Amino acid sequence: MHRHNKLLKNEGGFALLLSLLVVLLLTVLILEIDFQARADLRAAGNFRDDLKAFYLARSAVSAGEAILKEDLRFSNKYDGLDELWAYPVPEYPLGDGVLSGAITDETGKFNLNSLVDNNGKTAATVQKTRHKQLRRLFELLQLDPELADPIVDWADIDSEPISAYGAEDESYRRLDPPYSAKNARFDTLEELHMVWGITDDVYRKISPYLTVYGDGLINVNTADSLIIQSLDFEGGIDESIAGRLIENRPYENKQKFIDSVPADVKTRFTTAGTTSGIDTKSNFFSITAEGKVQNTRKIVRAIIRRGNPMELLYFKVE
């Protein structure tokens, strides 16, 4: 009898232990399901916010395109920093997010593709002048001006270094991994990372003043002081003169700008062909737009060619 009671007691203890184990398993399962459901909900919320932020930024790009189109329609004498398109759009609430944006004139920068002609050659006087202007820009940024030579070699179609400081296939094949010089015009500014001697530090310093979009003309109404100074590669336009030229903007045509520079600079402009490389109008612009929804942010960078219709040349989402 005693043994039977003991057996029943053991069975009761086992049943209790089994019940506790089942409850524990159910609790773990419920917690796991709850955790997964919350994770899926957060992921869905993040995806929703991510998508909303992207479309807010994309809307800001469209708004920028509309502003540029209206500017071309109603104010086409010149393009300058006194116009509506040049003012950044501050954060603007829309729905449960905000958007903002800014438009930059790509023609106010030095175009790397102006270093070669449409056939990829550099022999003409104008291309030599562009080369000297780029070297001057490197000097103004306190960078080695010889770095301009491998940039020319990257873009021209021949396989002969432009100078002792240039770089063609022989230089690039010594790298790990090896590759060849492009020997063609730049498609994107990021290609500059592949050019011999252009380190990340050099790229950070020089890239804000460079572009690969446009017809190679520099808009003197939107160009930075360093770009204005680089127009005279002999240093005749210093920071002070560049400042005065900027204060006198906008110029309705390039002749008014040329008439404003010192006489000796004006003579060099004419001799070197610099006058053929400047303008007071633009049709190539970059638009940087941002959309934010709660803690999610999307940035869209676009390059457009203004016209009818607008042409999208570059589009990147960050």
User: What is this structure's pTM?
Assistant: 0.85
User: pLDDT band for position 22 (50/70/90)?
Assistant: low
The mean pLDDT of 264-280, rounded to a whole number, is 90
CATH architecture entry for 2-106+283-317: 2-Layer Sandwich (3.30)
Rounded Cα gap, residues 290 and 300, in angstroms: 6
Alpha helices, H only, the chain: 2-74, 125-140, 148-155, 169-172, 200-206, 225-230, 239-247, 254-258, 263-272
Rounded Cα gap, residues 165 and 173, in angstroms: 16
Exposed e or buried b for every residue in 232-262, given b needs 16+ CB within 10 A? bbeebbeeebbeebeeebbbeebeebbebbe
Question: Is the pLDDT assigned to residue 107 strictly greater than 90?
Answer: yes
Helices (runs of H) and strands (runs of E) counted in the chain: 9, 9
The mean pLDDT of 294-313, rounded to a whole number, is 92
